[in-house]
Every structure is written in C-alpha cells, then in structure tokens.
Chain A
Amino acid sequence: MFERDFGALLFALHDAEVEFLVVGGLAAVLNGAPVNTYDVDVVHKRTEENINRVIPVLDGLDAIYRIQPDRRLRPSRSALLSPGHQNLITRHGPLDLLGTIGEGLGYEDLVPHSTEMLIAEGIGVRVLNLELLIEIKEKLGGEKDRAMLPLLRRTLDEKSRKGTTSS
C-alpha cells in the first residue's frame, strides 16, 4: 500500500518553486469542508520554465501513470504542457497534475480565485476558493462531485457567517 502523504507532495512542489494551485477534494478540505479525498489534484502553470521545475520533482517522487503501472510510464514534457490530466502515482500517493479544469480553466484563470494558505511553518500554497470549486462541480461534476455539493455549499455558508472566506 502507498502511504498517503499529501503534505510531502505539496512540499516537494513548493520547494522546487513550481507554480501550481491545489484544486479538487484537497482544496475543499483546506477550505474547511469535512470531506474525504485520496489524492492530490493540482493545476500547474503550463510554461516551459515551470515544466522545467515540475519534471525533476516528478522524478524525485518516482511519479508514473496510474494506468498500467507495470509499464512505469512517466509524463512527457509535451503532456505536461497540454491542457490534459496526468493521473500519476508517486511514492507518497496519487497526484493528478491537471492542465485545465472545468470549462478549460488554466492556472492563470484560477489564480484570481485562489488564496494562499499555510500548510506548514513558512510553506504557503495557493488553494482554489470554495466559490469556484462549487461552480465547477455544479457545471461539470459527475455523481461523486454532486454528492459533495451540499457539504461544500454549507461550508461556504458557515465561512461567510463567520466572515472567514479566505482561510
């Protein structure tokens, strides 16, 4: 079994100065929603410079595609530059590197809808806000995403009530 260490995955990306933001279930949890998730979903900036920083991190994490793990396929530079999804397994658990989410939203589109959150002493990562996370799941979500929506909406309500929408 791969022991999940979501923090280690995020620290590795952060330490290499990869430009990325956390989306999906982990973004929901970091925003305070009591949901479970088994992987880390991030949207990375799709520039040559950023991909130059991503590739060594993936090598260090021993990242390979989850589909057909026996073939030990590693994501190519062109795949990482594409808007597609790279569903990987690493030594710290599953990591999905997403070129875009929702209706073609990339890193630059999402940054204005994100907040930097401290996940450890001195380590801040950008996390997609609940508002847009809900909007994306409403528009495109499958059954699993829709089931999560009431929890996300009520979390947003509670945050608004407390006046803590940013953390």
Chain B
Amino acid sequence: MDTLAEWGTDLGRYAIFMTPAKQALIEYSEDGVDLTLIRWMLSLTPAERLDFLQRHINRILTIRELNVRA
C-alpha cells in the first residue's frame, strides 16, 4: 500500500472486527474521506464550526481578490 487512502480502505474493510479504540485509528473511509477532519469538526461546538467556516471562507476570498489584482 502506497498511500494513506489505501491504508484507510484496507483498515475500513476490517473495521467490524475491531474494538472502538482500534476503529478510532482509521484515518480514511473506504471512499477516501479523511475521517480525522470530520472527527476534529465534531469535537467543536456548532458556534465554533460557524466561526471556523467564516474565517476560512474570508481568507479564501481575500487570497482570490489579491490574485485578481496581481
């Protein structure tokens, strides 16, 4: 296996036989979704998720605008 996604796919296949602690170590789902990012988002409150999204989007828009001007 060369990539983390492939590791994730392989681990996901056997997840049913794993303890919760081992399941928590799976980093990618079978369809290649980064589960660590989801778990991090779920660790936040809805208010924190809103705040993160807002700051993230405004940074992207600022970068876009700077590159249009350049």
Contact = CB atoms under 8 A, between A and B. Distances in A.
Which interface residue of B41, B49, B54 has the most chain A CB atoms within 10 A?
A: B49
Contacts of B49: 29-30, 32
A33 B40 CA distance: 10
Q: Chain A's interface: helix, strand, loop or mixed, by majority?
A: mixed
Nearest to B23: A161
Interface residues of A, number: 31
B30 to A, nearest CB: 9
A37 B61 CA distance: 12
Contacts of A38: 57, 61
Interface string B28-70: 0101111101111110111101110110111011100100000
A55 B25 CA distance: 50
B53 A37 contact: yes
Interface string A83-117: 00000000000000000000000000000000001
**Size class of B's contact patch?**
20 to 34
Interface string A8-45: 00000000000000000010011011101110000000
Contacts of A159: 42
Contacts of A151: 33, 38
Contacts of B61: 1, 3-4, 38
8 contacts: A3-B58, A4-B54, A6-B54, A29-B41, A34-B38, A154-B33, A157-B29, A158-B42
